[in-house]
Amino acid sequence: MTQRYVVVDLETTGNSSKKGDRIIQFAAVVIEEDQIVEEFSTYIHPEQEISLFIEELTGISNETVKDAPIFEEVAEHIVSLLEGACFVAHNVLFDLSFLQEELTRCGYEPFYGSTLDTVELAKILKPTSDGYKLHQLAKEDHIEHLRPHQADSDAYATALLLLSFKEKLLSLPLMTLKQLYRLSFSLQSEVSELINDCMAVKLSKAEVHEPNLVTYRGLAFKKGKQGLEDNYQENEYPTDRQMKIKMLKAAFPEFESRFGQLQMMDVIYGSFESEQDAIIEAGTGIGKSLGYLLPAVYFAKKKQQPVVISTYTLQLQDQLLQKEIPKLKEILPFDFQAVLLKGRSNYLSLAKFERALREKDDHYESALTKMQIIVWLTETETGDRDELNLSSGGQLVWNRLQSDHFVYPGLKKPWIEMDFFEKAKRTAARADLIITNHAFLMTDLMTDDAILPKQGYIILDEAHHLEQAASKQFGRRLDYIFVKTFLNRLGTSEQKQLLYRLERIIANHGLEIERAKENLDGKLTDFAYEFEQLFVIIANQTNKLVKGIVPKRLAFKIEERIHWQRATLLAERLYDLLQSIVRLLGEKLDVLKQHEVSLGKNALFYVNDCEVILGHFIETKDILFEFFIQPREDYIYWLDCINTSMPNGVVLSAQPVLGSEELWNAYFGQQKSVIMTSATLSVKQSFQFFKTQLGIERKDIYTASFPSPFHYKEQVKVLVPRDIPDIQTLSIEEFAEASANYIIAGVQAAQGRTMVLFTSHEMLRAAYYTIKECGLLDDYTLFAQGISGGSKMRLLRNFQTFDKAVLFGTTSLWEGVDIPGEDLSCLMIVRLPFSPPDEPITEARCQLLAKKGKNAFSSYSLPEALLRFRQGFGRLIRTSSDRGVLVVLDRRVLTAKYGVEFQRALPPVEWQEVSINEMATVIEEWV
C-alpha cells in the first residue's frame, strides 16, 4: 500500500461520546508497504465507572483500568501515530467520533486526514457474507481473533482484514476496479483512494488473464460451468434392501441403516413407476431428504425427464443444495444435475443493471449496492438475489434491477445469452432434479407458458404448508412505503424524475397526446397527499382498536366498516384519482410504444420503468376498491399492525379463503405423480385432515407413515406443573407473570440452553419483560423474537453462540429449527398452540366450515393445534444422542377433554405432573 494506514479500535464506556461516554482502551496497528510495522495498545482510565454490561462485553473492569493513564497522558503519542496517515477502523465513524471528542477536550486539533471503513469495504468485496461484524469476517477469512471486544485483538484482526481486502481488489480485473472507482465517491469513507492505489498497481503490470472470468459489455462475469456429460449407463434402481445399504456404506462407512428411510425410497420409486400419488410422513431422524432424493434421481435418469422437488422454506432449499445433493453425488455410481429454479424477480436483470451503471449516482445506498453487485458478478453463477447480503436500502435498489416481464425485447437482446433467468430456464430443461419453492411451483403450473413440466413428477417437501402457500400466492398487500417509493420515483413533470423524462421524450419526438392538457401532475400531487392522509387515519383508528399492542393482526370485517367511514370516503376519492392517473399515464405510454423503434435505448428504458409503475398504480387501485368499496365474499381482509404511531406502521392485506376442493385439482390434478411429505402430516394416526385441507377426495391415494428411529422414552421427559394457574382464568399479563416463575426455574436448572415457545407476540413480550425486570436471569443472555432484533437465523446463531442463553420464540420457531446436541436441552411450551379464534384467517376458515355444517373446533382448530404441538416438540430431539426436557405450562394438556389428544400426539414418553421445585430437580438431573 502506497499510503500509511493506522488501523484503530477503541473500547468505551458506552456508545455515545456526545453523552459523556469515554475511551477505556485504545489500540492501533500501523501498516506500511503492505506490512504491519508497529502496534500500540493501552488501557485508559475513563474517570468514570465502567458498567457491569461493558465489563461483561469487553472483560475490562474498573480494577483493570485502576492504574491506567488518563487520555491526556497518551494523547500526544496517539496524535503522532496518526500524523499523515489514513485512519482505518471497523465502523470508522464510531471510533473517529470518540477520538475527535477526546482530542478536542484535551486541546488537540481534531484528525483531518483520510478515513477508511472496513465495514464498507467488507460489504463491497464480500457481498455474499452472512454478516459484517468483525468476528464473522475474521472467521470467514480464517483470521485468529481470540479476544473480540478487546481493542488490541480487534485492531489486529481489522488490519489483517484490510490486507486481505487489498489482495481481493488486486485480484479483480482492471475494468471492474474502474467501475468501482467511479461509484466509490458516494461512500462515507475514502475507499476511492484504496481503489486508486490498486488501479495504479494493475496499470504498472501487464494484466494477467483470469481463466475463470469472462468480460462482456464492460463487466466481468464468472465463467459458467460446462454442461454435464451424461455417463448414465442403465443403472437399475436398487430394489433390494441390502443393495441400498451396501451402496450407502460404500460412500459413508459410518452410515446407520434406517429401515424407514429405505422403505420410503421404495414407496416413492414405486409411486412414480405406477404414476400414483402418495402422502408420506417421515419422522425426525429418518433421513427424509435422502429418502426421496435417491429414488427421484434414479427415476429421472430412467425416464429422461426431470423430477421437481418443491420446498416451502429457503432453509431447506439450501440444505438440499449444499448438503444432501453433494452427499448423494458421492453415493451414486453415476453423475446427475440438480438445479435451483425460482421466480423471475429473484434474478438480476443485466439489461437493467447495465443501464443503472450509466446513471449519475450520488445516493449512498444505490452506489454501495451497485458496487456489491459488480463484485458479485465475478463470483455468482446464478444471479440469485438470495446470495447477496443487502441492506433494506439495498433491497429497494434491487427492486429496480430485478428481472421482470416488462423489459422490451430490444433492450434484452444483447443480454439474452447471459441473462440469469434465461440461463436458469435452459439449465432446468436439461436437469434431472429441479429444486424450487411452493410459491413458484404453483404460479408456474397456472401459467400458459409454464417452465416446469405440465404433466410430470413432483415431490412436495414441507407439504403441510401447501394450503398456506396457495393462499399467499393469490394474496394482495397495500404497503405505505412501497407506494410512496414508486410515487417518488415517478415524480411530477417538474421534479426531474421519471415523468419529467417521459415528457421530454414525448416533446423531443414531436408526439401528440390526446388528453395532453389534462393535469396529470395535479392528480399525482393530490393522490400523494390524500394517500398520506388515508394511512394516518388508518394508523390512528387501528391504534384505538389494538390499544397500542403491536405487532398484531386486526381483522377488517365487512360488518364492522362503520369504524372506517372516514377512511372509506378517502379511499373512494383515491380510487377516482387512480382511475384518472392510470388512464392518463397509460395513454402517454401507449403513444410511445407505437414509436418504439425510433425512441432509442435510453428512452425505452424510461418507458419501461414507467410501465412498471403503471402496473403498481393498477394494483393499488384494485386493492383499494376491494378493501374499502366492494370487498369480495371469498376473500378475507386484515391489517398487519407493526407501529400504529406512524402511517408506515400498518399494512393492508387480503387473501382468498380457498375452498379445499379448488386447491388440489387446480394445481396438481394433471400431474402424473405427486409425492407429499413432511415430518408432521397425520392427526390421530390419520391423514384425513391433511387431505381435506388440500381437497384430495380420491381414496386410492397411497399413504405411509415412517416413525422416527429415536428412542424417545430414553431421551425425553415431559413435565406439567401441577401448581400453575389455569390459563383460561387469567389475563395475558397475569399468566405471563405466573409462567415467568416456571421459566426462570427451568432456565436456571438447565443452565440456559432453553427455548420458550409462545403462541402470540403479546404474551411473549409480557413474559420477557417480567423476567428482565425481576433480574433473576441477569446472568443469562436472553434473545426474544421481535424484541432482540435480527432475522430468525441470526437469533438461532446467537442462541447457539452463548453458553447461558435463552430463546423466546413465536410462530416461525415452532418448526424448521435444527439445534442438535446440548445447545438445546430444555423446551418450554407456554400455551397449547391453538390459533386465536379472532385471528382473521382462522376466523374466516372456521366460518366457512360452519356454513358447511361442520364443527370448526374438531375439524380445524384442534387438528391444526395438534400438528403445531408435534412440530414444537420436534425442536427438542434432533439426533439419537440428544437428551432433553419438555415443559408444558398449559394444564389443559392434562385437564381438558381434548388434552389426551395432545398426549397421544407425541411419541411414547414419560409424562410427569410436578411442583416447581420438582420440575427444577428433574431438569437438573436429566440434562
Which class in CATH covers the domain with range 712-926? alpha beta
- Report the alpha-carbon angle 454-459-462, nearest 5: 125
Omega before 721 cis (within 30°)? no
Question: Whole-number mean pLDDT of the chain?
Answer: 89
Nearest in space to 347 (alpha carbons), one of 438, 427, 462? 427
491: annotated binding-site residue? no
| More confident site: 609 or 37 | 37
Render 116-147 in DSSP notation, one character per residue: EEHHHHHHHH-TT-S--SHHHHHHHTT----S
Q: What is the pLDDT of residues 633-644, one digit of tens each?
A: 878 888 877 766
287: annotated binding-site residue? yes
Instruction: Return d(Cα 506, Cα 510) in angstroms, integer.
Output: 6
pLDDT at 557: 67
Q: What is the pLDDT of residues 444-474, one digit of tens each?
A: 887 877 888 888 999 999 999 988 888 887 7
Instruction: Return d(Cα 679, Cα 444) in angstroms, integer.
Output: 26
How many C-beta atoms surround the C-beta of residue 515 within 10 A? Answer: 12
285: annotated binding-site residue? yes
Instruction: Return d(Cα 719, Cα 724) in angstroms, integer.
Output: 12
Render 132-198 in DSSP notation, one character per residue: -SHHHHHHHTT----STT-HHHHHHHHHHHHHHHHHHHHHS-HHHHHHHHHHHTTSSS-HHHHHHHH
C-alpha separations of 141 from 331, 343, 661 in Å: 31, 33, 53
CB-based contact 312:905 (threshold 8 Å): no
Band of residue 901 on the pLDDT scale cut at 50, 70, 90: very high
Q: What is the pLDDT of residues 176-198, one digit of tens each?
A: 999 999 999 999 999 999 999 99
Instruction: Return d(Cα 348, Cα 70) in angstroms, integer.
Output: 53
With 0-12 CB in 10 A as exposed, 13-18 as middle and 19+ as buried, what is 413? exposed
Place of cell 453462540: 801
pLDDT at 761: 86
pLDDT at 231: 53
Label the pairing between strands 805-809 and 781-784. parallel
CATH 3.40.50.300 is right for the domain spanning 264-337+431-474+659-709: yes
Average pLDDT over residues 339-367: 89
pLDDT at 472: 80
Render 460-483 in DSSP notation, one character per residue: ETTGGGHHHHHHHHT-EEEEHHHH
**Alpha carbon of residue 229 to chain centroid:** 35
Residues in the chain: 927
Q: What is the pLDDT of residues 205-263, one digit of tens each?
A: 877 777 889 989 989 999 877 655 555 556 789 999 998 888 888 887 777 778 899 99
- Poorest-confidence range of 45-54, 548-557, 785-794, 802-811? 548-557
Average pLDDT over residues 160-180: 96
Instruction: Return d(Cα 646, Cα 540) in angstroms, integer.
Output: 9
283: annotated binding-site residue? yes
Task: For 447-588, list the strands marked E by DSSP.
Answer: 457-460, 476-479, 552-555
Q: Position 875: which residue type?
A: R
80: annotated binding-site residue? no
| More confident site: 222 or 562 | 222
Residue 382 in 3-state DSSP?
A: coil
Q: What is the DSSP letter of 258?
A: -
| More confident site: 255 or 432 | 432
How many C-beta atoms surround the C-beta of residue 66 within 10 A? Answer: 9
pLDDT at 551: 64
Nearest in space to 311 (alpha carbons), one of 443, 448, 439, 135? 439
Sequence-distant (6+) residues with CB within 8 A of 735 are 725, 727, 763, 831
Sign of CA dihedral 743, 749, 754, 757: negative
Nearest in space to 394 (alpha carbons), one of 189, 123, 786? 123
Residue 458 in 3-state DSSP?
A: strand
First-to-last CA distance in the chain? Answer: 54
**Alpha carbon of residue 539 to chain centroid:** 27
With 0-12 CB in 10 A as exposed, 13-18 as middle and 19+ as buried, what is 18? exposed
pLDDT at 237: 93
Which pTM does this prediction carry? Answer: 0.85
- Poorest-confidence range of 560-574, 619-633, 888-902? 560-574
Tell me the H-state helices in 828-915: 840-851, 856, 862-873, 892-895, 899-905
Average pLDDT over residues 33-40: 94
809: annotated binding-site residue? no
Place of cell 377488517: 556
- Report the alpha-carbon angle 9-15-20, nearest 5: 105
Cell of 819: 439445534
Which class in CATH covers the domain with range 5-171? alpha beta
H or E element at residue 720? strand 716-721
pLDDT at 693: 84
CB-based contact 126:137 (threshold 8 Å): yes
282: annotated binding-site residue? yes
Q: For the chain, give me the number of helices (H) and strands (E)?
A: 38, 25
pLDDT at 660: 58
Nearest in space to 288 (alpha carbons), one of 270, 271, 311? 311
124: annotated binding-site residue? no
Residue 742 in 3-state DSSP?
A: helix
Q: What is the pLDDT of residues 661-699, one digit of tens each?
A: 667 777 788 889 999 999 999 999 999 999 888 888 777
pLDDT at 414 over 90: no
Cell of 743: 421459566
How many C-beta atoms surround the C-beta of residue 531 within 10 A? Answer: 23
